[in-house]
Structure 1
Amino acid sequence: MNKYLIFRTDRIGDFLISLILIKSIKMVDAKSFITVVASDKNYEYIKSFNIIDEVILLKGGFFNKLKLFFLLRKQSFDTTIVHDGKTRSKLISSFLLSKNKYFSNINKFSSYIDEIKYILQNLKITFNDSLLDILNNRDYSKIYTPKKPYIIVHFDEKWIFDQYIKTYSNIEPSLKELETFLSSLTEKINKKIVVTTGVKTPMILKKFFEKNSDENINLLENLNFFHLESIIANSSLLISCHGAVSHVAAAKSIEQIDIIDKSYNYSKWSKHFRNYKSIERKNFDSLYKDILNSLL
């Protein structure tokens, strides 16, 4: 039995990239034992995947990192992959017993999928496009999902100027602009709109839904990510700022409009996305018109 140790101590979207690698390994080496070292931001979500045999939480603080090191030092691995590229992960891995070690360096590649193909080549595993279907066979039967057909507008903190990267273009709408956008969108697509959000519901959404009387526009909030995944998986379109939800839509080949900032090369993340269209961030009045026009 081959033992793999993979470090992914960052966020959910980052893990979904690594899941392509993990699925590839399991496809050719079903009896392999895969351990993922996770962060507090993706630990619970990673545990929902049966394909992963063990998930270890990297807790904050020097002594917790030391404790993790000694735990891992007791074991011997066939392959260790530091896929998060974090200095702390590299440092811990440097002293572990492992026949093969790979430290991620995305600067050597044009995209994350190209790096994955390189890692797989070194593992003598052939990549094929079916490996992009990383969310197949997920059981959503016990989770509420809206009645089809519907689209999703994922409105999280990335739409709010003061809550996101200040150097990015401001796309925050006024309440009136948001009302115009959502009502125009319902007319355009003739489907229900499900508005989802992140950890906290932005105040502007609360104000909108306090007086919203349109039964075709509904809010779902306080969702864990597995629940959000299931709702995206059953939708016909996702409109969102780039993030973990973008990776879910890509994995399920759901049509998506990905809102990105021109200052960053998002193609590093999205080169392998299917059914994908991106729109650059700009003032909301122009942005929502671009979104509507893209649906022609």
Structure 2
Amino acid sequence: MKICIARVDRMGDMILTLPIIKGLKLIDKTIIIHVIASEKNYKIVKHFNYIDKIFLLKNSNKNFFSILNKIRKENYDYFYNFSPNWSGFFLGILSKSKIKSTLILLSRYNKNFSKITRRVLGDIFYNFKVVIDRFTAFQNNENFHQTKVMFSLIKRNSFEIKEDVKIDYFFPSKYKIVAKRDFCILHLTSRWINKYYDEENFIDLIIKLQQKKILLYLTSDESTKFKFKKIFDKYSIINNDQFSNEKLSDEIIIFDNLDFDKWIELIKVSKYVIAPECGILHITSLCENHLTVIYDADYFPEMMMHEYAPWKKPYNKLIFNDEELNQKIVSFVQ
């Protein structure tokens, strides 16, 4: 049996798809699984041993048709599109798979006419489709977690797949990171800064966390410097070339936009990770540390908690409009 899974979106979405891939292999290890990945999430799947072949879909028409030509030659038994964008949807339509299935997530804003074209095409060209009305599901207290709804689509094809699949950290270790004591990672991303929370609030959070006598390290992404000018002026910065895994400093350091391999190993050996809702929460879900996630108060925070919670990992959930946010974050660190 040969299966293709299209997941051509973000890093976190791919991590939430890994239980599906592993669950299929646990049914029968001879099942061949191919994955179509994006440039953003390829770094995740390239190390996941339950995948037999990966197709990297880039943002170009030439690459799209190249991938299409390759998957049409595979003659899959099943094709699953879990991606919300058009590229995965059309690859499924144009593949020569015997059974085609797609997941369609309706908009949180306008559900009546949401994805109407995709729903019609899904009826015509797909054998199975699962349409998720997230707003109604939330109101009815139904489980619409991303991984859960992907399992439901797989089960439509009579696969007896188990849902109690946990994914442990699987990336190769390249660095031996040593710190003098337990440390906490604060992930700097532009999502910290909003109408409820500014850079001064963040500086206050750092001061309060220092009283816990735990080491603090800040990691950044490409959006950080434009939002945290005071932070970047105040603390030492270590970039990729300066990174040393021999021994970490006991001073507050900004690890500025590290390579993925360095970043995830730093996360793995930390005791605490604190960040707004973004990809780091799903990386942390693979580790044994403690996680706090702060959700955007103006972007359906309760729904996001239901839909994108880390799989099989307890975590601390907060919302940016909480007037006691910093105090609650600090109380999480023991």
Q: Same fold by TM-score, threshold 0.5 exceeded?
A: yes
Cα distance change, pair 89–208 in 1 and its aligned pair in 2 (3 A):
closer
- Give the alignment of 1:180-259 within 5 angstroms: 180-188=204-212, 190-203=213-226, 205=228, 207-212=230-235, 215-259=250-294
Percent sequence identity over aligned pairs: 23
The separation in 1 between residues aligned to 2:229 and 2:27, in whole angstroms, is 48
CA deviations 1:183-205 (Å, max 9, x no partner) are 210213x3211211113542565
Cα distance change, pair 85–211 in 1 and its aligned pair in 2 (3 A):
closer
Q: Which residue of 1 aligns with 2:145?
A: 111
3-state SS in 1 of match to 2:101: strand
- Give the alignment of 1:1-296 within 5 angstroms: 2-106=1-105, 107=132, 110-121=144-155, 122-129=157-164, 131-132=165-166, 134-140=167-173, 142-147=174-179, 148-161=181-194, 169-174=195-200, 177-188=201-212, 190-203=213-226, 205=228, 207-212=230-235, 215-262=250-297, 263-264=299-300, 265-266=303-304, 267-270=306-309, 272-282=311-321, 286-295=324-333
1:295: Cα distance to partner? 4.4
Calculate the TM-score normalised by the size of structure 2.
0.75
3-state SS in 2 of match to 1:97: coil
For the aligned residue pairs, the C-alpha RMSD in angstroms reads 2.6
Task: Name the amino acid aligned to 1:4.
Answer: I
2:11–2:279: 8 Å Cα contact kept in structure 1? Answer: yes
The separation in 1 between residues aligned to 2:49 and 2:260, in whole angstroms, is 16
3-state SS in 1 of match to 2:199: coil
Task: Name the amino acid aligned to 1:178.
Answer: F
3-state SS in 1 of match to 2:79: strand
1:45–1:226: 8 Å Cα contact kept in structure 2? Answer: no
2:14–2:44: 8 Å Cα contact kept in structure 1? Answer: no
Task: Name the amino acid aligned to 2:274.
Answer: I
* Matched length: 281
1:75: Cα distance to partner? 1.7
2:2–2:76: 8 Å Cα contact kept in structure 1? Answer: yes
The separation in 1 between residues aligned to 2:163 and 2:148, in whole angstroms, is 12
1:128: Cα distance to partner? 4.3
Calculate the TM-score normalised by the size of structure 1.
0.83
Task: Name the amino acid aligned to 2:12.
Answer: G
Cα distance change, pair 237–59 in 1 and its aligned pair in 2 (3 A):
same
